[in-house]
């Protein structure tokens, strides 16, 4: 598992041609599919379309580069309607307010933890600077999100019991020793 933010800035290498295609400028998320949908290689301008790499064309997310199978993996955004709609939907997951259905504040989504194929595994939730410093940030399983919109991500009531503390940058969901997992009781 890795932070989505660590993928941005990595070079993209085409394996078939042995070429550096560019670098990851941004990520296109599919909140409903709970995955990275595409990598943005170049953004749109007044005279050209954005270039993207759909997630199914990615061979691997390495530590130092992203590899794609071949240059056919690099496409213009408008050539794939679904990806173009996600790209232009203006849904930014970092900075999104996290709330329960019943209106209880969970925090602010600061990061998305992703798996080796770009699947969204968890949201890193900040409860505020002081709380983060004293107790650490929370990780909330991504599959628990009910809706993800432009302003708010909603989760089921009682989700607080699934929040786990993140004690360091290297700690990830499923990697915490049993004695370090803090299961929070519902606030009510």
Band of residue 164 on the pLDDT scale cut at 50, 70, 90: low
Q: Within 13 Å of residue 183, how many CA atoms lie on the same side as its CB?
A: 7
With residues binned 3-state (H G I as helix, E B as strand, rest as coil), the percentages for the chain, rounded to 5, are 20, 40, 40
For residues 61 and 78, give the distance between their C-alpha atoms in angstroms, rounded to a whole number: 24
Band of residue 166 on the pLDDT scale cut at 50, 70, 90: low
Per-residue confidence (pLDDT) for residue 150, from 0 to 100: 85
Query: Has domain 97-180 been given CATH number 2.60.40.1930?
Result: no
Check for a shared fold between 2-88 and 97-180. yes
Is the pLDDT reported for residue 12 higher than 90?
yes
Query: Has domain 2-88 been given CATH number 3.40.50.1100?
Result: no
Q: Which has the higher per-residue pLDDT, 23 or 150?
A: 23
3-state secondary structure of 79: helix
Is the pLDDT reported for residue 133 higher than 90?
no
For residues 49 and 43, give the distance between their C-alpha atoms in angstroms, rounded to a whole number: 7
3-state secondary structure of 73: helix
Q: What is the value of pTM for the model shown? A: 0.79
* pLDDT averaged over every residue in the chain: 84
**Residue 118, both tokens:** 């770009």
Band of residue 48 on the pLDDT scale cut at 50, 70, 90: confident
Structural domain boundaries of the chain? 2-88, 97-180
């Amino acid at each position: 598992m890795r932070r989505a933010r660590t993928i941005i800035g990595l070079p993209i290498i085409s394996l078939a041609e042995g070429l550096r295609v560019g670098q990851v400028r941004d990520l296109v998320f599919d909140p409903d599919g709970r995955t990275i949908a595409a990598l943005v290689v170049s953004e749109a301008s007044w005279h050209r379309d954005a270039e993207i790499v759909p997630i199914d064309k990615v061979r691997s997310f390495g530590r130092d580069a992203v590899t794609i199978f071949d240059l056919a993996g690099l496409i213009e955004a408008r050539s794939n309607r679904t990806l173009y709609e996600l790209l232009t939907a203006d849904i930014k997951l970092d900075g999104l307010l996290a709330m329960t259905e019943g209106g209880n504040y969970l925090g602010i989504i600061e990061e998305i933890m992703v798996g080796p194929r770009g699947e969204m595994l968890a949201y890193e939730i900040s409860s505020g600077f002081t709380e983060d410093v004293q107790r650490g940030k929370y990780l909330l399983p991504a599959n628990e999100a009910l809706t993800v919109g432009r302003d708010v991500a909603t989760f089921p009531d009682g989700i607080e019991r699934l929040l786990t503390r993140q004690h360091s940058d290297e700690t990830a969901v499923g990697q915490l020793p049993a004695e370090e997992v803090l299961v929070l009781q519902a606030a009510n």
